[in-house]
Amino acid sequence: MVNETPFERLVIAAYRLPFKLTKTKKGYKAVQNSGGLVSAILALSENFKANNKVLKNSKIVWVGINDNLAENVPPESFENENFDILPVTITPTLNDLFYGGFCNDLIWPLFHYFPSYSVFNNDYYKAYQEANSKYCEELIKIIQPGDFIWIHDYQLMLLPEMIREKIPDATIGFFLHIPFPSFEIFRLLPRRWRESIVKGMLGADLIGFHTHDYTQHFIKCVKRTTGFEVHQNIIYTPNKRVKADAFPIGIDYDKFHDACLKEHVLAEKQKIKLHLARQKLIFSVDRLDYSKGLLLRLKGYETFLEKFPSWHSKAVFNMVVVPSRDNIEKYKKLKKEIESTVGRINGKYSSLAWRPIIYQYKSLSFNELVALYDLSDVGLITPLRDGMNLVAKEYVACQIENKGVLILSEMAGAAAELNEALIINPADNIEMAEAIFKALEMKPEEKHTRLERMQNRISNYNVFTWAFDFFNQTFDTKKLQKLVSVRFINKAISSQIVTDYRKADRRILFLDYDGTLVPFAKFPELATINENTVEIIKKLSNDDKNQVVIVSGRDKKFLEMQFAGVNVSLVAEHGYYIRKGVADWEVTINTGEQWKEAVLPIMNEYVSRCNGTFIEEKTGSIAWHYRNADSDFAQLRLHELRDDLSEIIHHKTDFEILEGHKVLEVKSGKYDKGQAANALLSNQKFGFILAVGDDKTDEFLFKALPDSACSIRVGLNPSFARYNVTDISVLLELLEVLAE
C-alpha cells in the first residue's frame, strides 16, 4: 500500500551512483550495484513507476560519484530509465582520502565497534569535508521548492548542515545505514570531528536509524557533544527542532517471495537439488568484511561438526562470500584466513562422498540467490555488527518450497524485529553449534510458526512502508517546526516592536542576564558580559525615556561588577534584592539563613553523587548546577534530589524548588522575578514594556506583566512570553536597533 507523498520530487544523495559503468566497444554500459541501499531505492523507483500518480515527477534524482573517477565519461552514459543522474566529480586522490580513508579506515570500523582497526588522520578529515562540500555544490544547483532531499549514510554526515546553510527552508532527511555507536566509542573521535559530525547530521529535519538503540546512542552523543535539550526524541537545536527516530529498513517482500515460484528460479532450484543428494543445506551470503563474523561462523560450524558427528555427510554449509574491497590489505588477509580455515575444516572432515563446506568467492545472480535462500534448511547469518542486514529478511521472505530456520546474530539490527529466529551471540561457538543442531532437528510445525510471524511482520513493514514512514515523519517534523515558529520574531514583528518602542514616551525594559544577554559558561563566574552588549545596554539606559532593569538570579556583587557605571536598576537573586538606579539595595523579604542548615547537606551529598555538579550559595537561596555533568545521569540525580528536598521543605510552605537552565534552586516562594517587576512598575504608566528571559524563572516575569507588554523568550521552549527568538544574537540585534 503506497501513500500519496507530500513532496513533488525525491532527490537522493548517496556516496555512489546506483550503477557501475563498464567500458565496451560501443561506449559505457551500466550495471546495477549490489548493496542494501541500491536494492531498496530501486524497488522504490519501480514502485513509483507503477504508481506514477504518487509523484509529480516520478523520476528520482540521484546524486553520487561514479566509480570511473579517472575516466572522462561522456554525460549521455548517465542517462537512465529509473533515475535522473547527477554525477559528483572528485579526483581519485581525494576519493582515496575521503572514501578509502575517513569513511572506510575510520568511520566504518569505529561505528562497527572495531576501534583498533580505525586510522585517525587529519588529511582524511579534510578530504571528508571537501568531498561533502562537492556534493553540496552539485545539489544546490538543482534543488527546487517541493523537493525532498534524502541523504544516505556515513559518507555524507556533514552534508545536511551544508545544504541547510545554503537553503534554510529545504526539506532534508538523513538516514544512517550502519550502526550509530555508543558515546564511549564515538568519543574516540577528536572533539572537532565529532562536533562537526553531530552538527552536520542535525542540519536535517529528520534523522533515521535502523534501531531504537542506535537512535538512543545518537541522542546521547548529541547531549554530550552539544548540550542541546532533547525531549522524546526531539532535539532542540538553536534554530529548529530535529527529530531522531528508528526506521528499520525493509525489503521488497513480494519481489523476493514471488520470485521463488518464477520459472528461472525453479530451474536454478532444480540444478541445486541435483548437487545436494538429499543433504540438508546451510547457507550464508555476505560481502567480504570483518564485521560479518565470517571466521567466527566457520569456528561455530566446526564446533557443530565436532559436537554432532551424527550430522556428518547429512548436512553441507554453502558459504558464499561476495568480493568487496579486496585490494585493501586487511580484506586480503581476511580472505586468505577464510580460505585456509575452509581448507583446514574440509581437510579434517571430508570423505570421498562429502565435503562439509562449499565455499564460493563470487557474487550470485538474483535467481541463484533466491533459489539458494528457498532451498536451504538453515540461514546462518551471524555478523559481529551489522546496521540491519537485509540478507536475513530476504531469507525469511523466500521460505516457500522448503521451510527453513533462520539463525541470526544478536548484533545485527535485524534481530530487533526477527526475534522468532534462533538468536545467537556470534562469538559463542558453542551456542552457534547448538543452534545449527536445533535448526536441523526442528519440527515442521515450529518452523512454520516462527516463519509465519516473521513473514507477517516483514511483509507489512516492507521497503515502501519504510520509505513512506520516513517521508511522513519528516513532514510531521516540518509541521511541528512551523507550529512553534509562528511565535518567532520575524521582520514584520520586529519592525512593529521598533515602532511601538519609538512611539512611547516612557518605557521599561526588563532584561534577564544568563542565557539572555550572556551565553552560559562552564562556571557561572566565567559568564561575564562583553563590551558590545554593555554598549547596547548603556545606550538604552542613557535614553531619558527608558528605565532598564537587569532581572537575574545572580547575587548582588556579581551584577554590580558586570554593570558598574551603567545606569540600570538591578534585581538580584530572583528578586530577593532590588536596587533602583543608584539607590541602595533593598531587601524584599528577609528569610534568615537557618533554613539552609537542612538543605545544604543534602545538596552537598548530590555534588558527591554526581560528578561535575556544584553548589552556588546566595543570601536567599542555594542552587545546584548540573550543566557540566553527564546529562542523563544528572537527570536521574535531579529527580532524586527533588524528592529528597521536597520531603524537607514540604512543611515549610513558604519555600519552593525552582528549576532554571540546568540548575535547581531552593528559595522562599514569597518573591520571584514577577513580583520584583511589579515592585518596579509600582502603578506607574509605561507606554512600552519589554521583558526578555530564557528559562522557567523568567516565566514569573512574563506572567506578571500586562497583556500589552512585549515579552520574548530566548530559545525554542513554549512560554508565556508573546514571542520567541532562536538565540542570544537575534535578541541583541533587536536591542541594538532599539538603542539606535
Q: What is the DSSP letter of 182?
A: P
> Any contact of residue 515 with ligand GDG (CB under 6 A)?
no
* CB contact at 8 A, 149 and 157: no
Residues 276-305 that bind ligand GDG (CB under 6 A): 285, 287
Site track for ligand GDG across 167-186, x = CB under 6 A:
----------xx--------
> Any contact of residue 658 with ligand GDG (CB under 6 A)?
no
Give the residue ranges of DSSP H helices in 181-328: 183-186, 191-201, 212-226, 253-259, 263-276, 294-307
Residues 36-95 that bind ligand GDG (CB under 6 A): 36-37, 39
> Any contact of residue 678 with ligand GDG (CB under 6 A)?
no
Q: How far is the CB of 156 from ligand GDG (least distance, A)?
A: 14
Whether 555 is catalytic is no
* CB contact at 8 A, 641 and 605: no
Residue nearest ligand GDG, CB atom distance: 36
**What gap in Å lies between CA 481 and CA 726, rounded to an integer?**
12
Q: How far is the CB of 636 from ligand GDG (least distance, A)?
A: 32
Q: Give the residue from 246, 178, 167 showing the smallest Cα distance to 206.
A: 246
| Residue in the structure block whose three cell numbers are 554593555 | 534
Residues 6 or more apart whose CB falls under 8 angstroms from that of 13 comprise 63, 64, 135, 139, 149, 150, 151, 152, 156, 159
> Any contact of residue 397 with ligand GDG (CB under 6 A)?
no
> Any contact of residue 35 with ligand GDG (CB under 6 A)?
yes
- Tell me which of 512, 514, 694, 698 is the catalytic residue: 512
Q: How far is the CB of 291 from ligand GDG (least distance, A)?
A: 8
Closer of 177 and 457 to ligand GDG (Cβ): 177
> Any contact of residue 34 with ligand GDG (CB under 6 A)?
yes
Closer of 178 and 384 to ligand GDG (Cβ): 178
**What gap in Å lies between CA 432 and CA 428, rounded to an integer?**
6
Residues 6 or more apart whose CB falls under 8 angstroms from that of 374 comprise 260, 265, 269, 398, 399, 400, 401, 402
Residues 88-107 that bind ligand GDG (CB under 6 A): none
Question: Which stretch, 275-283, 380-388, 471-479, 592-600, contacts ligand GDG (CB under 6 A)?
Answer: 380-388
> Any contact of residue 390 with ligand GDG (CB under 6 A)?
yes
Q: For ligand GDG, how many residues bind (rule: CB under 6 A)?
A: 22
Q: How far is the CB of 244 from ligand GDG (least distance, A)?
A: 17
- CA 698 vs. chain centroid, Å, equals 31
Question: Which stretch, 117-125, 388-396, 557-565, 575-583, contacts ligand GDG (CB under 6 A)?
Answer: 388-396
> Any contact of residue 387 with ligand GDG (CB under 6 A)?
yes
User: Apex CA 726: angle with CA 530 and CA 228, to 5°?
Assistant: 90
> Any contact of residue 252 with ligand GDG (CB under 6 A)?
no
Question: Which stretch, 9-17, 29-37, 211-219, 635-643, contacts ligand GDG (CB under 6 A)?
Answer: 29-37
Question: Three-state SS string across 513-568, please?
Answer: CECCCECCCCCHHHCCCCHHHHHHHHHHHHCCCEEEEEECCCCHHHHHHHCCCCCC
Q: How far is the CB of 186 from ligand GDG (least distance, A)?
A: 18
Q: How far is the CB of 37 from ligand GDG (least distance, A)?
A: 6
Q: Which amino acid is at 129?
A: Q
Single residue of 322, 378, 641, 689 touching ligand GDG by CB under 6 A: 322
Residues 6 or more apart whose CB falls under 8 angstroms from that of 195 comprise 225, 226
Question: Which stretch, 87-95, 181-189, 383-391, 597-605, contacts ligand GDG (CB under 6 A)?
Answer: 383-391
Closer of 390 and 442 to ligand GDG (Cβ): 390
Single residue of 69, 167, 364, 484 touching ligand GDG by CB under 6 A: 364
> Any contact of residue 394 with ligand GDG (CB under 6 A)?
yes
> Any contact of residue 249 with ligand GDG (CB under 6 A)?
yes
25: left (phi over 0), alpha (psi -120 to 50) or beta: alpha
549 has which bridge partners? 510, 569
Q: Among positive and negative, which fits the CA dihedral 422, 423, 426, 432?
A: negative
Single residue of 103, 342, 388, 735 touching ligand GDG by CB under 6 A: 388
Closer of 43 and 518 to ligand GDG (Cβ): 43
**What gap in Å lies between CA 681 and CA 705, rounded to an integer?**
9
Number of Cβ within 10 Å of residue 245's Cβ equals 17
Q: Give the residue from 491, 463, 299, 501 showing the smallest Cα distance to 384.
A: 299
Catalytic positions, please? 512
Binding site for ligand GDG (CB under 6 A): 34-37, 39, 177-178, 249, 285, 287, 322, 363-364, 366, 369, 386-391, 394
